[in-house]
Amino acid sequence: MSAVALIAGDAHPQLAREIARSMGTSLVPASVSAFADGETRVRIEAEVRDADLYIVQPTSVPTNERLMTLALLADAARAAGAARITAVMPYFGYARQDVRKSPGEPRSAQLAGRILRCAGVERMVALELHSPALESAFEMPLIHLRADDLMLPAIRDCGFSRLTVVSPDAGGLKRAQRYAQALAAPLAVVAKTRPRADAAVVQQVLGDVRGRACLIVDDMASTGGTIVGAAQALLEAGAAAVHALFIHAVMAPGALERIGAASVRTIMTTDSVRIAIDPRVRIVPIAPLLAQTLGRLTGRSTLRTEVTDVQES
């Protein structure tokens, strides 16, 4: 029976510590540093031979560096004799680029998966992928988690009255439908066009939102443009109040300010990526969900070492 080893990458070591604490175990010490020219250097500083190894590393900003660090940690673990390597990626940074929309474009999501597979990753755990089609696109098993069981209680705690759940675009309609059904609330959708990446033009609101509290449900907020556009359209359609929920706080500089300036009263998200504490944002922790998932996957003994933060230099 293989021991279980849990390693924190450099993207979100606090999340890895909380997962380990929830599992009643500890982290294998590892270091992530860089040479003078920026080249990433990693080292696993404990025995992991024959271990069932899990690397916690969302590929958040800077996405390319986080992905490379994950690949290097996987390769180091493989070289050290780990029995199996699982990448725990609460946020998968290339999930928006899963299809070729025009000639000459890559399928970046699938390429990122192949890079990790070549590095030794044999299984992935991800939360709320941008494109559900990716569930069958990777060349390795994927455990795709939903945040519903975490976010629904947080919504109910807010005590919204006359609630309507809103999808900010047609692509997120299935997610919004799940929330609307669970909350016994009506559903609306904001129709929009996207002339270029990170830009959206709202067209119209489909559904009755007049005099109602509207909750925009999305998988991520990057520039904040989608939420801002949807909020403006909802208020113009007569919504009494607008609130926003997104799973991944992939916040570009100024995004939170833009969302707040659009009269969005409540902002809810998870800590799938590292996010600064802000009184305007309610953060729902995901460590319990990930710890429960890893516990089901392992069901084995645990390789125990002293809890150690990832070292950065």
> What are the backbone angles phi and psi of residue 200, rounded to the nearest 5°?
-140, 145
| Separation of alpha carbons 217 and 175, rounded Å | 8
Same domain for 30 and 52, yes or no, is: yes
Closest CA to 54 of 150, 114, 108, 122: 122
Cβ-Cβ contacts under 8 Å for 295 (sequence gap 6 or more): 23
So what's the pLDDT on residue 194? 62
So what's the pLDDT on residue 33? 96
Of residues 192, 212, 243, 248, which has the active-site annotation?
Answer: 192
- DSSP assignment of 17-51, as one string? HHHHHHHT--PBPEEEEE-TTS-EEEEE-S--TT-
Same domain for 18 and 90, yes or no, is: yes
Pairing relation of β-strands 199-206 and 187-196?
Answer: antiparallel
Q: What is the pTM of this model?
A: 0.89
Q: What is the pLDDT of residues 154-213, one digit of tens each?
A: 999 999 999 999 999 888 899 999 999 999 999 999 986 666 665 656 668 999 899 999
Give yes or no for a contact between 246 and 227, defined as CB atoms under 8 angstroms apart: yes
So what's the pLDDT on residue 103? 85
Same domain for 217 and 232, yes or no, is: yes
> Domains in the chain: how many in total?
2
Cβ-Cβ contacts under 8 Å for 162 (sequence gap 6 or more): 211, 212, 213, 240
Same domain for 232 and 158, yes or no, is: yes
So what's the pLDDT on residue 207? 94
So what's the pLDDT on residue 138? 83
- Both tokens of 131, joined, read 């494109």
| Separation of alpha carbons 308 and 313, rounded Å | 15
Same domain for 11 and 114, yes or no, is: yes
| Separation of alpha carbons 23 and 43, rounded Å | 24
Same domain for 12 and 141, yes or no, is: yes
Q: Which helix (H) or strand (E) holds 108?
A: helix 108-119
Amino acid at 6: L
Same domain for 278 and 300, yes or no, is: no
Same domain for 127 and 50, yes or no, is: yes
Q: What is the pLDDT of residues 61-111, one digit of tens each?
A: 999 999 999 999 999 999 999 999 999 999 998 888 777 778 888 888 899
Same domain for 139 and 161, yes or no, is: no
Categorize the per-residue pLDDT at 306 as very low, low, confident or very high, splitting at 50, 70 and 90. Answer: very low
Same domain for 101 and 129, yes or no, is: yes
Closest CA to 86 of 129, 43, 25, 143: 143
Domain assignment of residue 175, given as a range: 148-284
Same domain for 92 and 177, yes or no, is: no
Cβ-Cβ contacts under 8 Å for 299 (sequence gap 6 or more): none
CATH number of the domain bearing residue 215: 3.40.50.2020
Helix, strand and coil content of the chain, in percent to the nearest 5, comes to 30, 30, 40
| Chain mean position to CA 37 | 30
> What are the backbone angles phi and psi of residue 69, rounded to the nearest 5°?
-60, -40
Same domain for 22 and 132, yes or no, is: yes
Pairing relation of β-strands 142-145 and 199-206?
Answer: unpaired
So what's the pLDDT on residue 313? 37
| Separation of alpha carbons 286 and 290, rounded Å | 6
CA dihedral 79, 80, 84, 89 (to 10 degrees): -80
Handedness of CA 96, 100, 106, 109 (dihedral sign): positive
Q: What is the pLDDT of residues 227-281, one digit of tens each?
A: 999 999 999 999 999 999 999 999 888 899 999 899 999 999 999 999 988 888 9
Give yes or no for a contact between 251 and 225, defined as CB atoms under 8 angstroms apart: no
- Both tokens of 138, joined, read 């990777």
Categorize the per-residue pLDDT at 136 as very low, low, confident or very high, splitting at 50, 70 and 90. Answer: confident
192 included as an active-site residue: yes
